[in-house]
Amino acid sequence: MAAEDDHPRPGRLIGVGLGPGDPELLTLKAVRAIEEADVVVYHSARHGRSTARLIADPHLREGVIEEQLVYPVTTEECDDYDDQLAAFYEQCRARLATHLDAGRTVAVLSLGDPLTYSSYQHLHQRLAAAYDTTVIPGVTSITAAAAVAGTPLVEDTELLTVVPGTLPADELVAALQSTDSAVIMKLGRTFAGVRSALERAGRLDDAIYVERATMSGERALPARDVDPSEVPYFSVVLLPSRMPRKPAPLPAVGASVPLGSVTVVGTGPAGAEWLTPEARGVLAAATDLVGYTTYVRRVPVRPWQIRHESDNKVESERAAFALDLARRGRHVAVVSSGDPGVFAMATAVLEVASEPGYQDIPVRVCPGMTAAHAAAARAGAPLGHDYATISLSDRLKPWSVVSARVRAALEADLVVAIYNPASRSRREQVVELKALALSLRGPHTPVVIARDVGGPEERVRVIRLADLPCDEVDMRTLLLVGSSQTQMVTRRPGGAAQVVAWTPRRYPD
């Protein structure tokens, strides 16, 4: 028995979520943990004040041991900030381990939730593997701020992103552009940069600033109206749900309204994974979507937008329609697959936008991944050196021009990316391409056949030029014809055969 007294059973570690600040938002479980703890732990800056300690005070039992963990640094700048904090948390671990080894129950107080941007999590990572540990969740400042602002955060299929305001500016802009709703935490002195990122992302008008949610002095107001010099640490910015919105009515023709804008958006070859954050943001913010039916239907339906779908062969009419909408104050996204500047809608829009009557309307192009780059990535790196991109379609230029360009590219020993190689009614061009290539390249030249890249029927193969099956090629296929230097090798990752192609970056003298 004496031996057991000399070595008591280790105590229990409890991470206690206190909620965002209002003592009435403490859970019953949190209150009980505070009341029963042998040791209560809380953090503070060097001034010694602790909001967490103040909230828990009514529930601390007499004689409880208190451990105040004082940060060596907080918001001040120093060269070894990370090293100082790492050393601090190691010291804290040792202090708490002493209590735990003595068999005491240790409750670490955490504002909000213990595992959401909290100081507790650093102790958890250092102690939880060695001791019996319980985490009591708390109401987060995220949900508290939404309640104070009185606005839904997310609805239906919307995406919610929680981001720290300490992110580098470009990363913060990308995160805001690529999400439906967001909560930006860790403000204080970062607010000026956050405000700038919101403006760059086109989201400033939506943003709601919430300060000291559920605490004394709470307030909510448009983020645009906030003085950056007066922002405390206990504040967040919300980008709430846009689902309740309805399409704005279209002004009458000739009505005096501010000009809108047209953005030609590249959605990539297929699939949401290849959609850039900028493109996501443009598509979500638009009042109107204009484009070929197949491409528009890839974009999620949003209740605040009007969708204008059309046939694939009316590019000039579609461009004029989009510009006319912008003339009436609409912010229009013209949807294009791949990259809009590669055999796609950017040229058509800019061509019409250069005509009299449209030259004052803002037009920009939002790039996307091209089909050639997507296909090349699936096959290896066949575009690793100089290459040419040519469309085999003779609908907008004569075949004599197409064949002359193909011959010139092949004679220059370029890799050639072939768009629009064949259609139901246009079969002879791909046959002529193969014959022309075989007259100028060896039969073993690698060729990538990529069909429906990124789509449900994706099939990418690397074969010899002599084996190119012309009858299998259609408008959903892209071809990459290698140069004299392009390599084709069979690799065996995991034991499975994989044929890859790449073109060396060096060219022989």
Give the DSSP per-residue string, 86-108.
HHHHHHHHHHHHHHHHTT--EEE
Start-end of CATH 3.30.950.10 domains in the chain: 142-239, 372-502
Residues in the chain: 509
Residue 158 tokens read as 């919307």
Residue with tokens 């037009």: 363
pLDDT at 509: 82
Among 106, 163, 113, 148, CA closest to 130: 106
Per-residue pLDDT tens, the chain, 509 aa: give them: 445 556 778 999 999 999 999 999 999 999 999 999 999 999 998 888 999 999 999 999 999 999 999 998 876 667 788 888 899 999 999 999 999 999 999 999 999 999 999 999 999 999 999 999 999 999 999 999 999 999 999 998 889 999 999 999 999 999 999 899 999 999 989 999 999 999 999 899 999 999 999 999 999 999 999 999 999 988 999 999 988 888 888 888 877 888 999 999 999 988 788 899 899 989 988 999 999 999 999 998 999 899 999 887 788 999 999 999 999 999 999 999 999 999 999 999 999 999 999 999 999 999 999 999 999 999 999 999 999 999 999 888 999 999 999 999 999 999 999 999 988 888 899 999 999 999 999 999 999 999 999 888 899 999 999 999 999 999 889 999 999 999 999 988 888 888 999 999 999 98
Q: What is the CATH number of domain 372-502?
A: 3.30.950.10
pLDDT value of residue 314? 86
Tokens 């099939």, residue located: 459
Give the CATH class of 9-139.
alpha beta
β pairing state of 132-136 and 306-310: unpaired
Residue 494, pLDDT score: 85
Residue range 142-239, CATH number: 3.30.950.10
Cα separation, 42 vs 55, in Å, equals 11
CA distance 194 to 173: 9
Q: 89: burial class by Cβ within 10 Å (0-12, 13-18, 19+)?
A: middle
The CATH homologous superfamily to which domain 261-366 belongs is Tetrapyrrole methylase, N-terminal domain (3.40.1010.10)
Closest by alpha carbon to 448, among 406, 475, 421, 482? 482
Residues of the chain with CATH 3.40.1010.10: 9-139, 261-366
Contacts of 357 (CB under 8 A, 6+ apart): none
> What's the rounded Cα separation, in Å, for the pair 502 and 385?
9
Long-range contacts of 88-95 (CB under 8 A, 24+ apart): 89/122, 89/123, 89/126, 90/126, 92/122, 92/123, 93/123, 93/126, 93/127, 95/67, 95/69
The Cα 390–Cα 406 span in angstroms is 7
- Going across the sheet that includes 261-266, the strands are 306-310, 288-292, 331-336, 261-266, 363-366
| Tokens coding 101 | 């080894």
CB count within 10 Å of CB 284 equals 22
Which among 434, 440, 412, 439 has a CA at the least distance from the CA of 421? 434
17 within 8 A of 114, measured Cβ to Cβ: yes
Look up residue 259 and give its DSSP letter: -
Of the candidates 397, 382, 289, the residue with the CA atom closest to the CA atom of residue 343: 397
pLDDT of residue 76: 61
The residue among 505, 495, 274 whose CA lies nearest residue 377 is: 274
**Residue 463 CB: number of other CB atoms within 10 A?**
16
Quick one: DSSP state of residue 473? -
Q: What pLDDT does 1 receive?
A: 44
Determine phi and psi for 215, rounding to 5 degrees: -95, 175
What pLDDT score was predicted for residue 372?
Answer: 95
Pair type for strands 477-481 and 446-451: antiparallel
Query: Which value, to the nearest 10 degrees, does the dihedral of the CA atoms of residues 434, 436, 442, 444 take?
Result: -10
Distances (CA, A) of 311 to 50, 59, 291: 64, 69, 8
Planar angle of CA 313, 475, 372, nearest 5 degrees: 105
Tell me the C-alpha distance between 252 and 270, whole Å. 36
